[in-house]
Amino acid sequence: MTVSAFTPNEMMTIAASRALSSDDVCFVGIGAPSAACNVARLTHAPGITLIYESGTIGTAPDVLPLSIGDGELCETALTTVSVPEMFRYWLQGGRISIGFLGAAQLDRFGNINTTVIGDYRRPKVRLPGGGGAPEIATSCRKVFITMKQSTRGMVEKIDFFTSFGHGEGGDHRRRLGIETEGPALLVTDLAVWKPDPETKEFTVVSMHPGVTRGQVQETCGWKVRFADRVEETPPPTELELATLRDLQARTERAHGGKKGA
């Protein structure tokens, strides 16, 4: 059974959650990635292992964390290890299947900027920075990205390379000696994108209900490529929507309006 009333953000989160399975070991970013991963855990992927940068493994938060240092993560984790162990043994050891990241700026090849907007030495905006995202982007077997579409965020050329995606496209990762797959999925509030097998340029494979190609192009800073056959993203089910809304409501009550979603 499907639901008629849902927001673009809800569609984005639920579409992203569907890409995860119980077999995944997922390194989770704060914000939209965290919401998507926990919806997956609470619905179709109960066996998924969620890992956060602070060293929590197998965490199952009842509310969405405000940061990687949120006590909710440690309290609900199977175990917590040191940050050096997390990165050296788990991440760089190739034990994590999915890195789930957000972005302030993104280009067509999945390169991410979360450092500065404008010139690095005289930025218009200084962003929170990469944290562990650069290592996640190169060491996880594949990377999923979620973000709202806008011409400010999806740009022809990012201002700073925080997390390396497919670089200039094609086999750029391999030429640099990076053996992992890299960005394999982009889910926005309007569409689902996957990289072209050869060029690695993100291509629209599915548009959310009611979205037009014009809307996708108007909110993207590069000329959008559409797959030969573009599907319609299935709308949220009652279970998916109720799970997400309940999670967000618990988060709202716990954090006094400072939601992690």
Mind telling me the catalytic residues? 53
Q: Tell me how far apart the alpha carbons of residues 253 and 191 are, in angstroms, rounded to a whole number.
A: 31
Question: Hey, how many other C-beta atoms are within 10 angstroms of the C-beta on 102?
Answer: 18
Pairing of strands 191-195, 202-207: antiparallel
The amino acid at residue 85 is: E
Matching residue, tokens 């927001």: 7
Pairing of strands 183-187, 116-118: unpaired
Q: How far does CA 203 lie from the centroid of its chain?
A: 16
Helix/strand/coil for 184: strand
Q: What are phi and psi of 101, to 5 degrees?
A: -120, 155
Which residues does 179 contact at the CB level (< 8 Å), separation at least 6?
none
Report DSSP state, residue 237: B
